[in-house]
Amino acid sequence: MNHKSVLIRIFLLCAYPLFSSATEENAVLKGEDSGQNDFSTDSPSVAGIIKYNMRKSLDLEQEGCYLKTGKNDCLEKCGFNATAKTIFIIHGWTMSGMFEHWMHKLVSALMQRESEANVVIVDWISRAQQLYPDAVNHTYGVGLDIAALLNWLQDEHQLPLENVHLIGYSLGAHVAGYAGMHVRGTIGRITGLDPAGPMFEGVEKEKRLSPDDADFVDVLHTYTREALGVSIGIQQPIGDIDIYPNGGDVQPGCGLGDVLAVAGNFMEVMKCEHERAVHLFVDSLMNKEHLSYAFQCTGPDRFKKGICLSCRKNRCNKIGYNATKMRKRRNSKMYLKTRADTPFAGYHYQMKMHVFNKKQSDDADPIFNVKLYGEHKDTADMFVDVHGNSIGLNMTNTFLVFAEEEIGEVLRIRLSWEGESDSWSSMWINIKKKFWGNHSKPVLEVRRMRVKAGESQKKYAFCAEDSSKTEISPGEYINFVKCPDGWDAKPKKRVPM
């Protein structure tokens, strides 16, 4: 067994406690040595096992009504409306054998937002609660069963497939993909909520959710952080648009300390991030006035630098239920930052400033903070994150600022340089200077700042409020107000000394 297989064995034993015997572990590792997904598309039959629970009540404790392929009396009893939107919710792998709490929230949000729609839960729990590899082997059959139901509804009741929306979480996202691949015609939309990664990462598109499975496939990735060679959520882009909130990495409010303080269970940390995709989708249904926008970017590093906040040529989109179909552009990766709790939407700002080196302050290594003063309210001081890099001297720096509250139009900005005792990082920089560096007080200069608001796409130029106060040292700040000559004005050329 190679090194990668050993790591995967350890990970799955930690992440999936149900694997308890050597036989079960070997089942997990089936095909892992080759790096291929070897589960059979000739999966065990699930005919008659899958239940289609059409919801008439927000209370999931009530039994609901069940659709059955070929049974017209069931459609009449359930009040199925073939001309309305039809939304299928497909759960993923489960250890409890019961619907998880997120299902209640999603059903309730959908029924409130789309009161006339047919909202159907695809219940495949009897197969989903098996060992993870066995549950994976059943996904293909469940997808075929959904496709058979849709084909019958088309034949007997002229169901328009463009009105069908499949929403799949984790393994359920790939189930939706199989349904879309095998239905006769093209489903209107499939939404993948953090599609499962193990046994699906890197395989051919016929063995996972892909853009070919519906007219519009949108995917939310919230847990793509790799541990011991595998990721719980799939990392690669697999839709028409693939949205990575917070880079698809650590989700705010899901940190070890945050979750352990409430749940006291390490497993809840992973669940929090994996399940965040569902809660972002629910949030998009419930908070129509507070929409989250994602922005196209080649990768998370560029996004964190504030480079990608353009909405030109379909470069931005709403997320979750409100996402809109774009001109066919496969695997368009998009990013955004979110708050830790609902409403998750915040406000993105791109900021640019040219930092001039004064008095040979090559080793200044400043730590800047900004505070935005808006027409409605102000922000707290926010750390200028240049994503692991130092502020560049004698060059233009671009960075991203994320405000959790709407402040309205930005009226003023305060740029401050942390003093020597303001933070541990500043203290360490100061200690290094005292022992190895320049002992003189560093002086830098910032004359202008440029700001672009991602959500409104408005651009502003800010000049120093006091034109004689453009230099800054540790513990000091500069106030900037809107330049009278606007965004397009260029700073005057500096006469060489």
Q: How far apart are CA 284 and CA 323, in angstroms?
A: 9
Q: Which residue has the tokens 């029924």?
A: 111
Catalytic site includes residue 456? no
Catalytic site includes residue 145? no
Catalytic site includes residue 274? yes
Q: Which residue has the tokens 């084909």?
A: 151
Exposure class string for 302-330: b at 16+ Cβ within 10 A, else e: ebbbbbbbeeeeebbbebbbebebbeeee
Q: Where are the beta strands (DSSP E) in 109-238?
A: 118-123, 164-169, 189-193, 216-220
What DSSP line would sit under 323-392, residue for residue? ----SS-TTEEEEE---SSSS---EEEEEEEEEEEETT-TT----EEEEEEESS-BPPPEE---TTSPPP
Closest CA to 364 of 438, 415, 449: 438
Could you report how far apart the first and last alpha carbons of the chain are, in Å? Answer: 68
Closest CA to 46 of 184, 177, 174, 139: 139
Instruction: Say how far residue 461 (Cα) sits from the centre of its chain.
Output: 31
DSSP character at residue 426: H
How many CA atoms are closer than 13 Å to the CA of 468, on its beta-carbon side?
0
Cβ neighbors of 152 (< 8 A, separation 6 or more) are 69, 70
Residues forming the annotated binding site for Ca(2+)? Answer: 208, 213
Q: How far apart are CA 350 and CA 307, in angstroms?
A: 7
Residues forming the annotated binding site? Answer: 208, 213
Do 277 and 169 form a contact (C-beta atoms < 8 A)? Answer: yes
Please state the length of the chain: 497
Task: Name the catalytic one among 43, 108, 170, 284.
Answer: 170
Task: Name the catalytic one among 123, 134, 194, 365.
Answer: 194
φ and ψ of 5, to 5 deg: -65, -40
Task: Name the catalytic one among 91, 174, 221, 274.
Answer: 274
Torsion, Cα of 60, 62, 63, 64 (10° steps): -80
What residues act catalytically?
170, 194, 274
